Structure 1
């Protein structure tokens, strides 16, 4: 039953992706800008992501924030972050909500169905926003978005770079989200902040402490 649902989902995504090919528009490279889709998690993930975004140059805009529907903390923290930044250097940005793959404490069985819903929701999100760069750092919400962006890329519909920055608290082992992106080879770059992780997972890139 689960396999059948998975097959139906993949077929659906392929059909929608092919349809999106005809309605998508090309990114205007004359501006030299890079549109970023930043996936926010909750708690520490959001704090680390905002610190990471604060170090990006003006070239990286607009920033398209994607936040879980139930994540009020990240939404409020992100609004304050952009309000403070606007006082010195305004940056184009907008907020978008998506179904979360898994809520804190949610059972694994029900998580399967919420993940399917998140995958379906990720299709129009990626198609509509058309990012040049997908930037994420841990929340499970990023997996459907990265997966759809990857499918679009291998189908030649929309090419974007997928970069995953592992959390500072991950010293000896990758998070589940990072492991999925690593073993499925979805992420173009999987960056870690501790040399121990790079030695254990040789296809990652050690970049030192970012935040």
Structure 2
């Protein structure tokens, strides 16, 4: 540990020395240009961030309309949504929340974002989509289309914190194409960007929301697209997850709700109820899709 600390100290000293050498070699005019550009960029980014937050805040605690007795959920004639899947329980919860008993998804595309190495989520997803296809076939309706994108895991379990920034950066670089490249489907041809992006707590969900916020800040994506809907995991019965806390304090989610009253009161957010148990599957074998 001491050796590692010493090496980091030497590397840091070399880096700082190099930076001062570069700065001193720049002409005064060049240095002023760099500083002025940096300040202008900071002002622009801060202004855009505040603009986006001010337009988003009235919607953040919007109540999700969950009606277990309804026979179908109204959807636009053509839609494209993205779902962030997390390892294990997060994925199972998300698929349960997507289940509302509907069985016609004509011109509806689902894109799933899965972290690298998460074979369990891929298996759950394929089982879910197979069950959906069977359900729709029995009703002589369309299951719509779907695809999946694998991105670098933002942070592995027990991964050292010092290495997390690098993997998080790699994850964001993978996330941008997943958001910007439209699916090869009718909905994808009509709708370039997903209309809504759903997450329920995996770490990748925060970086997806951050990537979307950056795209909108720099006018690379329209503000009307990619609305981030964050539904805190049902397992969080008294406190928010780290992902939830980050999204709450940064304000970059368009809708932010929890599933337990204690959490809602503690953080002053909307309690949408136990959405994960509001599904209306025909049985335990045939799941039915997307409620959100």
Q: With the length of structure 1 as denominator, give the TM-score of the two structures.
A: 0.80
Deviating more after overlay: 122-131 vs 45-54: 122-131
Measured at CA, do residues 59 and 198 of structure 1 come closer, stay the same or move farther in structure 2, by a change above 3 Å?
Answer: farther
Contact kept? 1:166, 1:191, Cα under 8 Å: yes
In the alignment, structure 1 residue 103 sits paired with structure 2 residue 156: yes
Measured at CA, do residues 38 and 45 of structure 1 come closer, stay the same or move farther in structure 2, by a change above 3 Å?
Answer: same
1:25 counterpart residue number: none
2:210 to 131, 136, 147: 147
1:182 to 244, 248, 253: 248
In the alignment, structure 1 residue 69 sits paired with structure 2 residue 121: no
- Superposition pairs of residues 13-28 of structure 1, within 5 angstroms: none
Alpha-carbon separation, structure 2, partners of 1:107 and 1:186: 26
1:48 counterpart residue number: 93
Deviation string, structure 1 residues 66-119 (Cα, Å, up to 9, x no partner): 101110000011001100110112231111110110011111111111001111
Instruction: List alignment gaps of at least 5 residues for structure 2.
Output: 1-11, 13-18, 20-37, 46-75, 137-142, 183-192, 277-292
Contact kept? 1:38, 1:66, Cα under 8 Å: yes
Question: Displacement, 1:192?
Answer: 0.6
Alpha-carbon separation, structure 2, partners of 1:104 and 1:60: 37
- Superposition pairs of residues 62-211 of structure 1, within 5 angstroms: 62-89=109-136, 90-129=143-182, 130-156=193-219, 157-158=221-222, 159-202=225-268, 204-211=269-276
SS of residue paired to 1:62: strand
SS of residue paired to 1:35: strand
Contact kept? 1:64, 1:93, Cα under 8 Å: yes
Q: Tell me which of the two structures has the higher relative contact order, counting C-alpha pairs closer than 8 angstroms and 6 or more residues apart.
A: 2
Measured at CA, do residues 181 and 96 of structure 1 come closer, stay the same or move farther in structure 2, by a change above 3 Å?
Answer: same
Task: Give the number of aligned pairs.
Answer: 186
Alpha-carbon separation, structure 2, partners of 1:139 and 1:123: 17
SS of residue paired to 2:108: coil
Contact kept? 1:34, 1:59, Cα under 8 Å: no
In the alignment, structure 1 residue 37 sits paired with structure 2 residue 82: yes
Alpha-carbon separation, structure 1, partners of 2:201 and 2:236: 10
SS of residue paired to 1:94: strand
After the TM superposition, which segments of 4 or more aligned residues of structure 1 sit over 6 Å from their partners? none
Alpha-carbon separation, structure 2, partners of 1:87 and 1:150: 37
Alpha-carbon separation, structure 2, partners of 1:83 and 1:61: 16
Question: Displacement, 1:205?
Answer: 1.6
1:21 counterpart residue number: none
